[in-house]
C-alpha cells in the first residue's frame, strides 16, 4: 500500500511512518519539520520525505499528485488546548484550512481514503464516566472546535466527492518522544531523573491515557478495513486513570519517586482547568476492525520507563 502521512515528522506521524515502513508499505512523510525521523529511516527506499506547509494548497496538491497514495493518514495539526488558546487564528488556519487542502488535493488526485486524527476534545465536558461515539459533541476550546469542524467538512466531501473520511478520536496519547510537558510524561520524567514534582491540583481528574503503540495499531486496523460501517471511532485504552492513580503506579515502578498532587481538576500547565473527562469506549473499533489495546495504564507506564532507560 502507498500511504501519505501528513504531519509525518510529529509525535504520532513519526510513529505511524515507522510502523508502515516496518510492515512493507511505501510511505510519503509530509511535514514542515521531518527531523524526528532517524538516519536509518531516511535511507529506506520505500520512504519519500516531502517538506512543506499544510496551509499551502499548491504544495499539498503537488505532493499528493506526485505520490498518488492509496490512502492518507492526516496527522498534521496544531495540537492541544493551550496551543489553541495561544493562537486561535493559527489553529483554524492549520487545522481547518490545512485539512481542506488535503481533501481538495485528494479529490484532484483520485485518492479516496483518509484517516483524520481527531480528538476527545470534540465532546467538550463528558456527561458520563465512560462515553461512546454517540456522545454529544459540544467543544469549548478552539482545538476541539477545529477538530469537530474538520469532521463535518469530511462528511461534506464524502457526500459531494465520494471521499472516505474516517475520524479517529483519540485521547492523551503518550510514549517516548512526546514533545509536550503533560501528564504522565512530566511525572515519569521527574521520577526517572530523581527530581521531586508536585502538581498543585489534579489528583482527582480521571483521563483515558493511550500508549502510542496502541494508537498505531488502532490506526493501522482502521486503515486496512475495506469498508467502514461508521465514520468515527475511538482509539484509546478504554479505561481512565486519575492523576492520583498515575502517581501511585509510578511509585510502584520507581520506588522513592517524589511525586505528589493536590486535589481537584487537572490544569493545563497549572493554569487552565481541563473539562470533565473519563474513558472512551472502544467497543465500536473492537467490533469493526478488531482493535484491542495491549497496554493498561501500568503496562504503558512501564513501557515508557523501559524506553527512557534504554
Q: Hey, which residues are catalytic here?
A: 143
Nearest C-alpha neighbor of 110 from the set 76, 74, 155, 72: 72
What is the length of the chain?
Answer: 310
Between CA 25 and CA 21 the distance in angstroms is 5
* In 205-280, beta strands by DSSP E: 206-207, 210-211, 232-235, 241-242, 259-261, 267-268, 272-273, 279-280
- Whether a cis peptide bond, with omega within 30° of 0, leads into 184 is yes
In three-state secondary structure terms, 240 is coil
Between CA 261 and CA 186 the distance in angstroms is 12
Distances (CA, A) of 197 to 92, 177, 193, 208: 34, 20, 11, 22
Whether 281 and 132 have beta carbons less than 8 Å apart is answered as yes
- 220's enclosing H/E stretch is helix 212-224
Q: Which residues contact 245 (CB under 8 A, 6 or more apart)?
A: 297
Between CA 225 and CA 54 the distance in angstroms is 27
- 71's enclosing H/E stretch is strand 71-74
Between CA 73 and CA 12 the distance in angstroms is 10
Between CA 235 and CA 215 the distance in angstroms is 6
Between CA 215 and CA 210 the distance in angstroms is 7
Amino acid at each position: 500500500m502507498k500511504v501519505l502521512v501528513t504531519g509525518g515528522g510529529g509525535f504520532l506521524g513519526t510513529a505511524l511512518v515507522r510502523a508502515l515502513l516496518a510492515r512493507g508499505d511505501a510511505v510519503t512523510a509530509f511535514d514542515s519539520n521531518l527531523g524526528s525521523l532517524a538516519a536509518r529511516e531516511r535511507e529506506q527506499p520505500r520512504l519519500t520525505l516531502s517538506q512543506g506547509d499544510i496551509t499551502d494548497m499548491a504544495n499539498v496538491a503537488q505532493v499528493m499528485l506526485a505520490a498518488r497514495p492509496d490512502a492518507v493518514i492526516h496527522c498534521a495539526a496544531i495540537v492541544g488546548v493551550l496551543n489553541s488558546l495561544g493562537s486561535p487564528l493559527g489553529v483554524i488556519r492549520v487545522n481547518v484550512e490545512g485539512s481542506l487542502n488535503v481533501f481538495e488535493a485528494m479529490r484532484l488526485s483520485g485518492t479516496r481514503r483518509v484517516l483524520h486524527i481527531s480528538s476527545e476534545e470534540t465532546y467538550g465536558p463528558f456527561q458520563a464516566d465512560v462515553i461512546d461515539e454517540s456522545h454529544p459533541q459540544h467543544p469549548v476550546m478552539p482545538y476541539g472546535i477545529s477538530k469537530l469542524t474538520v469532521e463535518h467538512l469530511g462528511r461534506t466531501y464524502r457526500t459531494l466527492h465520494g471521499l472516505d473520511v474516517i475520524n479517529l478520536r483519540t485521547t492523551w496519547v503518550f510514549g517516548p518522544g512526546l514533545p509536550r510537558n503533560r501528564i504522565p510524561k512530566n511525572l515519569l520524567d521527574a521520577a526517572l531523573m530523581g527530581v521531586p514534582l508536585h502538581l498543585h491540583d489534579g489528583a482527582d481528574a480521571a483521563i483515558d491515557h493511550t500508549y502510542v503503540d496502541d494508537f498505531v495499531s488502532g490506526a493501522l486496523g482502521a486503515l486496512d478495513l475495506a469498508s467502514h460501517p461508521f465514520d468515527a471511532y475511538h482509539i484509546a485504552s478504554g479505561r481512565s486513570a486519575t492523576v492520583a492513580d498515575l502517581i501511585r503506579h509510578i511509585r510502584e515502578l520507581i520506588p522513592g519517586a517524589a511525586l505528589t498532587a493536590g486535589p481537584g481538576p487537572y490544569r493545563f500547565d497549572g493554569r487552565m482547568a481541563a473539562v470533565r473527562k473519563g474513558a472512551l469506549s472502544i467497543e465500536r473499533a473492537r467490533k469493526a476492525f478488531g482493535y484491542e489495546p495491549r497496554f493498561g495504564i501500568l503496562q504503558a507506564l512501564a513501557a515508557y520507563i523501559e524506553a527512557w532507560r534504554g
